[in-house]
Amino acid sequence: MKRRVCIAVLVMGFSGLVAEILLLRELLIVFSGNELSIGIILANWLMLEALGSLFLGRLVETSEHEFEVFTVITFFFSLALLVAVLFTRNLKNAIGVSIGESIGLLPMFYTSLLILLPVSLLHGALFTLSCRIYDAVAGSEASSAGRVYVYETVGTMVGGVVSTYFLVPYLAAIHVAIGIALLNLIVGLVLLIPCWTIGPVQKTILGIVSVSIFLSGYFLFASHANELHHRSVAGQWKNQNVVHYQNSQYGNIAIVENQGQYIFFLDGLPAIITPIPDIQPTEEFVHLPLLSHPEPARILILSGGAGGVINESLKHPSIEAVEYAELDPLLLSLLREFHTPLTEFELSDERVSIKHTDGRLLLKTIPHRYDVIFVGIMEPSSLQANRFFTEEFFSLAAERLNDGGILVLGAPGSLALLNEPLRDLNSCIFHTLKSVFPHIRVIPGDGRHIFLASDARDITMIDTGQLVARLRDRDITAELMVPWHIESKLHPGWQDWFSDFIENGTQKTNHDFRPLGLFFSLSHWNALHAPEFGLLYRQFERLNLGIIVLLLILLLIAYVLLRSMNSRCLPSGIPLSIFTTGFAGMIFSLTVIFTFQAVYGYVFSWIGLLVASFMVGAACGAMLTTGELKRIRSGLGLFMKIDLAVACFSLGLPIVVSVVNASVGDQRAFALFRLLFLVLSSICGLLVGSQFPLANKLYLSKNANLSRTAGLLYASDLLGGWLGGIVGGVVLLPVLGVAGTCISVGLLKLAGLIVILTQPNDLPPKKWTSQ
């Protein structure tokens, strides 16, 4: 029976991680690929797991039928996962958000919370129940929670690898959810077989589980899962004619067709329209910069070239070469599959060279120089997009421009609806450009401002008559780019208007590892769609390390005073330390994901692997500590040393990140750094996992109830992770950057050490005897 229980715990960990990754990826599609939502989603998952472990687990621990309760909870967990996937795909319909519209941070929080609620609560309860079941069959109370933690973590690790390389690339989410249900039901059946002769309740549960296994297998292997998948996709896209829907390792691509017009959606946002693109912004974005250059010969387009930009560029007769960098090869493959005369011409012209790579990596590794570089990403609305609006990127682009070359990019703009977040966003981009390029010209517009940056003063003194002459000399045929339109767009008054607009805006600059551009982009979105929350969110811009230090000092003083007045008024420092370790672990995970995205330009396909490597470290740490529990003489001393190690790791992580970023240009190092990210994730997990069994042992010497102790500490760990996901992902990393965030975490862990040292009467004895 012990072996069956161990297998059940392994499957529980495996299923939990697969469910987490599955719902994370589905929600990322709905949340337009915004990586900051990763912190919100993971935080909600951890909080709900904590509540399930702490409260729902306690509720069922009094039952005398542990195996039956475990099977019933597993059954409802499996059912809830399938329902959650289906509801996620219909989420925008449910909250009244249109196709192609982004969702703000506040709706991200409460919608992901509701979707994850049943799945995470039930999975959290399984941990507490597993501790009791394992203790009943193994009879080793002090180490039961630690061993269950190890088994669950090993299952989680396997789930991350299997999800990354097998489930997500080859199966739809519906198929994976039904497969997980089938696996869990089989495990429940194996656990309950010995209970067959006990009574009618057990027989009823066995009968329901058996029927559910048959139905799951029937749906999975009889094509009904495919039908359910297609219906859910149709509902997600409000019964539009979705001709293709597919996940790649870089994101989700959906293609909607309407009367011969194709719209390519990337992570739910419209990216390419063909064969008739949005004429006015496309022509302005291409022709105004190219006409501003006396003779553009070689140009580079970083993303968004197909569907109009390449076609308009090739109308200039001096163009000899167009290099087009698009990260996702699936997108270009689908453009060829669902071809139109426009895209066929763009992708087949002999002057066009297509690179299936990240635009920033291309700039770092190629020797060519260009006359004009177009950035086809319209705003820093995600970590991936923000990489093309930072000082580091602008410096790289400046090195790849010929003398008099022009860097072209766009940003959200309006000539009438003006607000502080929009002002700060444009001001941040302007001052970031100004820190690299001596001359900037901004062409304001409704919907988009166009920024032209160059080392040549001519860019700020564009002569409209000269541009009109070049338009005629080059014999360019355009729909809207006619002389009067050029004169209107380049009227000198617009430069004064833009200068006045950003005069009182921020002068802070945007960086790879301090993405203020992303922060201001989110502030602008909140100002439009959630103004009440937007006012609160903007206040976080004032956050700095000084405020963090002051806040920690005030909390420490308050804690020490309360402890001195009543030693029982606050809980032990052990759960508090586990809480801060959970917080640190989540911050470390987000920092690794954040840095991976900044360096490589994608993270969609690596989330499972990065989480799995974290779990590998957590499993190793938990196994090492659990195996040595009886031989450890000073448990409290070791516990505090691990706390100190977490603080030191936090202070050292920004140094490693800086070294990685500085060495990206080396191709060999670029490939090896992927392994480094996995190692960093494993070290994070090792530090976090090694404390849990030790904390369990320490706390049990004061509280003999295993289930309650395991539930309390597990909940403390997960609640710390929840706070880390919310605060770290949405506030600390965008505002303080990697270095400031990691320093804050290091200071928090040092404060936790002080708390433990100031409450000696509440801690168990330091010396243990073998049990």
Helix/strand/coil for 281: helix
Instruction: Work out the end-to-end distance of the chain between its first and last CA atoms, rounded to an integer number of angstroms.
Output: 24
Residue 764 pLDDT more than 70? no
Burial of 532 (0-12, 13-18, 19+ CB in 10 A): exposed
Dmax (CA) for the chain in angstroms is: 94
Q: What is the DSSP letter of 461?
A: G
Q: Which of 558, 591, 580 is nearest to 748 (CA)?
A: 580
CA distances 574 to 578, 681, 717, Å, are: 6, 24, 11
Q: For the residues 98-120, what does the mean pLDDT come to?
A: 85
Which range scores top for mean pLDDT: 21-30, 161-170, 655-664, 738-747?
738-747
Residue 431 pLDDT more than 90? yes
More confident residue, 505 or 222: 505
More confident residue, 154 or 499: 499
pLDDT interval class at 765 (50, 70, 90):
very low
Q: What is the pLDDT of residue 771?
A: 37
Tokens (6 digits) for 359: 């635009």
More confident residue, 470 or 569: 470
Q: What is the pLDDT of residue 119?
A: 95
Alpha-carbon distance of 508 to 506, in angstroms, equals 6
More confident residue, 138 or 271: 271
**Amino acid at residue number 596:** F
Q: For the residues 91-119, what does the mean pLDDT come to?
A: 85
Q: What is the pLDDT of residue 140?
A: 57
Helix/strand/coil for 72: helix
Pick from 44-48, 439-443, 664-668: least confident: 664-668
Q: What is the pLDDT of residues 188-213, one digit of tens each?
A: 888 877 765 566 777 788 888 889 99
> What does pLDDT average to over the chain?
85
CA 58 to chain centre: 32
Residue 66 pLDDT more than 50? yes
pLDDT interval class at 762 (50, 70, 90):
very low
Q: How many helices (H) and strands (E) does the chain have?
A: 31, 11
More confident residue, 220 or 730: 220
Q: What is the pLDDT of residue 113?
A: 93
Q: What is the pLDDT of residues 549-603, one digit of tens each?
A: 999 999 888 877 777 766 555 456 788 888 999 899 989 988 888 888 888 777 7
Q: What is the pLDDT of residues 219-237, one digit of tens each?
A: 888 888 989 998 899 888 8
pLDDT interval class at 770 (50, 70, 90):
very low
Phi first, then psi: what are they for 441, rounded to 5°?
Answer: -125, 125
**Percent over 90 (pLDDT), the chain:** 36
Q: For the residues 416-434, what does the mean pLDDT come to?
A: 92
Q: Is the CB of residue 356 less than 8 Å from the CB of residue 327?
A: yes
Q: What is the pLDDT of residues 655-696, one digit of tens each?
A: 988 887 777 666 666 667 788 888 998 998 899 888 877 887
More confident residue, 36 or 439: 439
More confident residue, 770 or 19: 19
Q: For the residues 316-343, what does the mean pLDDT come to?
A: 92
Residue 217 pLDDT more than 50? yes
Q: What is the pLDDT of residue 435?
A: 96
Q: What is the pLDDT of residue 664?
A: 64
Q: What is the pLDDT of residues 121-166, one digit of tens each?
A: 999 888 888 887 887 777 655 566 667 877 887 888 788 788 877 8
